[in-house]
Structure 1
Amino acid sequence: MSLNQAAQAAPALPEKAGEQQEPSLLARTVRRPEFGALIGAVAVYLFFVVTASDAGFTSVAGTASWLDTAAELGVVATPVALLLIAGEFDLSIGSTVGATSVIVAIGSGTYTMPQWVSIPLALGFGLLVGLVNGVVATRTKLPSFIVTLASSLVVGGGALGISRALSGSTAVTLTPEPSVQAVFGSKEGQFQVSIVWWLAITVLAWWVLTRTRTGSWIYATGGAPDVARDAGVPTARVKIGLFMATSAGAALVGVLQTISYSGGDVTRGSSFIFNGVIAAVIGGVLLQGGYGSAIGVLLGTATYGIVSLGIFYTGWNTDYAQLFLGALLLVAVLANNYFRKLALGGR
């Protein structure tokens, strides 16, 4: 079996010579990992256009509200998706968001460290968490679910205790410096700068997956790891790098939140633990690994933002947002498996 076949998930799989005619453009489009996510995003958006446009959902303020929500989630959901494609899972992102948030807030707010020093320190901490997760998971062969659950407890508990010891609270205020505010907390009208970070990270992920050898390695590592290793793919190194990227994304969210909200909070990242995975799955990523795309995750994250804020504009009980997301998740899993079978020629 070749490495391309081992990946089982690259957006366009080669046909065996002489067996089939070249598929049409429509057939190739339907087989794309992001096709189902596109249909879902359009359908959900149109639903709220019909039910909530009079309440301002399609206004500039309404559009900004769901885009800002999606952007913050997308910063971490994109690397989470790449890690899922490689067949691994990370539960420590929520604790990493909270820990990096208070690192910046305590370092610069309590101890007057320059913010351009505390922010790289926080990002470096995120990379360290990812490195530890990756090394432990690959060397012990323990399920990444267990490894990152343990690191989540360690990081979260440590951050909680240290925050109380150093500042006397789990929430610490901070006045952002103007240059830091411009990069991590500025707005254009009602659109936050996190949208730019989200799009930049999506473009980077798309380029890695579709234009580099590393992208092929990621698909192969998740699609058929034994075959990938036999073909010379450094699967352990790929996974460690993706664990580090995921934790770095979580750390960046912690920084963005700290600057945007003028303070850090240990508990702030709890919602990201599963929301990143939900956005990735809605975007076409398989939990089994080996299948997905960066554009699909962009659409899945947008869908999450639309549902989360769209319910508010309808005037319905916001508890129904969870109902919508649960239904979307189930439909997305079924659709992902269906489109993957199409991509593999019905197998």
Structure 2
Amino acid sequence: MEPPAEQRPSARSLARRLANRPELGSVVGAAAVFVFFSAVADAFLQWSSFGTVLYAASTIGIMAVPVALLMIGGEFDLSAGVLVTSSALVSSMFSYQMTANVWVGVGVSLLATLAVGFVNGLLLVRTGLPSFIVTLGTFLILQGCNLGFTKLISGTVSTKTIADMEGFDSAADVFASHLTVGDLDLQVTVLWWLGLVAVATWILLRTRAGNWIYAVGGDAQAACAVGVPVHRTKIGLYVGVSLAAWISGQHLLMSYDVVQSGEGVGNEFLYIIAAVIGGCLLTGGYGSAVGSAVGAFIFGMADKGIVYARWNADWFTFFLGAMLLLATLLNAWVRRRAEARR
């Protein structure tokens, strides 16, 4: 039976709103990737495999969420990858050298990591330099500090073990534990990831700060003219990236106990790729936190799907690049349709 006439416009309106969402392209891409690997890799559909895919997605997704918000605000952060390693190194070396409770090192790391984000944002708004230059400088400084201080303090390129120190087990429960949901074994990073997606979505869609982020990314000068605190918004976005880097860094430390000081280089591009696949524009003012989560999920499926299909792992970068181009083209088409209907 055909629905009543008064119900049809609202149904069309809902469908139109969904079609105009920035994450539409990434959802279509995720469905295609899922079907593809389900067909070529039998192990891909197993519950244990799904848990592994979610873990791989969460390690990228935790950082992709604040990076997406930063990109919506019209900026980049090239230091995000090495900042994760810096956060883990500070926690480990402070706890070991001071023979302190591991939670003390975790707290010191939080303050140090947030300070880096604050300085990134402050330099950006005070100097007027492009975020590419500011965060590239921070990237090089952190990379040098990670290697230099680790060799100076530990004598090697890796930290000393802190697994037997007080507080390590409880910290590992928070940042690197496992939980079982039915037959599905999950890492706690999946919960951190989903929690960040929920908070970021609420900020973007239900708060003034979310309106400020879109306004700053769309046109910073126009936003400033109508009273939007542009500088405060951008600094806050960089601090948000740093907070996520701290969470990821603690997971890195609590999972492996020992941290290699050269890790993290290049991961910043994975975060940006996940955000772009999820619908964020490089020019700012457009995107969503949910889209970044779908982009990270695509990353997880591609990363592990290639393994389950028993292909050469070198094909992963090819697959990721192809997904980036296809998703970008589809996202651009969705955006043009949305703008044409306004």
TM over 0.5: yes
Shift of residue 87 of structure 1? 0.3
* Conservation of the 8 A alpha-carbon contact between 2:162 and 2:168: no
Q: Residues 103 and 168 of structure 2 are in contact (CA less than 8 Å); yes or no, is this contact kept in structure 1?
A: no
- Which residue number in structure 1 is paired with residue 265 of structure 2? 270
1:42 alignment partner AA: A
Aligned match of 1:230 in 216, 225, 231?
225
Q: What amino acid is the match of 2:109?
A: A
Residues 70-118 of structure 1 show CA distances to partners (whole Å, capped at 9, x for unaligned) of 1111111100000000000000112211111111111223442211111
Given candidates 96, 99, 103, the residue that maps to 1:112 is 99
How far apart, in 2, do the equivalents of 1:128 and 1:106 lie? 18
1:346: Cα distance to partner?
5.4
Asked if structure 2 preserves the Cα contact closer than 8 Å seen for 1:160 and 1:170, the reply is: yes
Task: Please name the residue that 2:140 is paired with.
Answer: 153
Q: Out of 17, 41, 44, which is 1:28 matched to?
A: 17
Of residues 161, 185, 189, the one that matches 1:194 is: 189
**Residues 1:174 and 2:165 are matched in the alignment:** no
User: Is the CA contact (8 Å cut-off) linking 1:101 and 1:265 kept in structure 2?
Assistant: no
Counterpart check, 1:103 vs 2:90: yes
Matched, 1:307 2:302: yes
Partner of 1:122: 109
Query: Where does 1:2-21 land on structure 2 (aligned, <5 Å)?
Result: none
Aligned residues of 2:81 and 2:267 also touching (Cα < 8 A):
yes
Match of 1:81 in 2: 68
SS at match of 1:88: coil
3-state secondary structure, aligned to 1:171: coil
1:63 aligns with 2:54: no
Aligned to 1:325: 320
Q: Which residue of 1 aligns with 2:5?
A: none
Q: Is the 8 A contact 1:258 1:264 kept in 2?
A: yes
Match of 1:253 in 2: 248
Counterpart of 1:49 in structure 2 is 38
Q: Which secondary structure state, in structure 2, belongs to the residue aligned with residue 240 of structure 1?
A: helix
- Which sits farther off after the overlay, 331-340 or 75-84? 331-340
CA contact under 8 A between 1:174 and 1:264: conserved in structure 2?
no
2:27 paired with 1:38? yes
CA distance in 1, matches of 2:293, 2:286: 15
Q: Which runs of 5+ in 2 are unaligned?
A: 1-8
Q: Tell me if 1:316 matches 2:305.
A: no
**CA deviation profile, 1:190-244 (whole Å, cap 9, x unmatched):** 4211111001111110000000000000001001212111110011110010011
TM-score by length of 2: 0.92
Contact 1:90 1:145 in 2 (8 A): yes
Distance 2:122 2:267 in 1: 23
- 1:207 equivalent to 2:202? Answer yes
CA distance in 2, matches of 1:328, 1:46: 14
Q: Secondary structure at the match of 2:259?
A: strand
- Tell me, yes or no, if the aligned pair for 2:120 and 2:135 is still in contact at 8 Å: yes
1:136 corresponding residue in structure 2: 123
Q: For 1:105 and 1:169, how far apart are their aligned partners in 2?
A: 14
Structure 1 ranges of 4+ moved more than 4 A: none
Bigger mean CA deviation after superposition, 178-187 or 207-216? 178-187
Alignment check: 8 A CA contact 2:146 2:262 kept? no
1:178 partner letter = D
Q: CA deviation at 1:42?
A: 1.0
Structure 2 residue corresponding to 1:185, chosen from 149, 167, 176: 176
| Stretch deviating more after TM superposition (39-48 or 101-110) | 101-110
**2:140 partner letter:** L
Structure 1 length-normalised TM: 0.90
Which amino acid in structure 1 is aligned with residue 204 of structure 2? L
Number of positions where the alignment pairs a residue of Structure 1 with one of Structure 2: 325
Segments of structure 1 that go 5 or more residues without pairing to the other structure are 1-20
1:141 Cα offset (Å): 0.8
**Is the 1:254–1:269 Cα contact (8 Å) retained in structure 2?**
no
Structure 2: distance between partners of 1:140 and 1:269? 27
Q: In the TM superposition, what is the alpha-carbon distance from 1:345 to its structure 2 partner?
A: 2.2
Q: Which string of whole-angstrom CA distances, capped at 9 and with x for unpartnered residues, describes residues 252-300 of structure 1?
A: 2111110011122222212421000000011111111000011111111
For residues 281 and 341 of structure 2, the distance between their equivalents in structure 1, rounded to whole angstroms, comes to: 17
Q: Distance in 1 between matches of 2:35 and 2:91?
A: 40
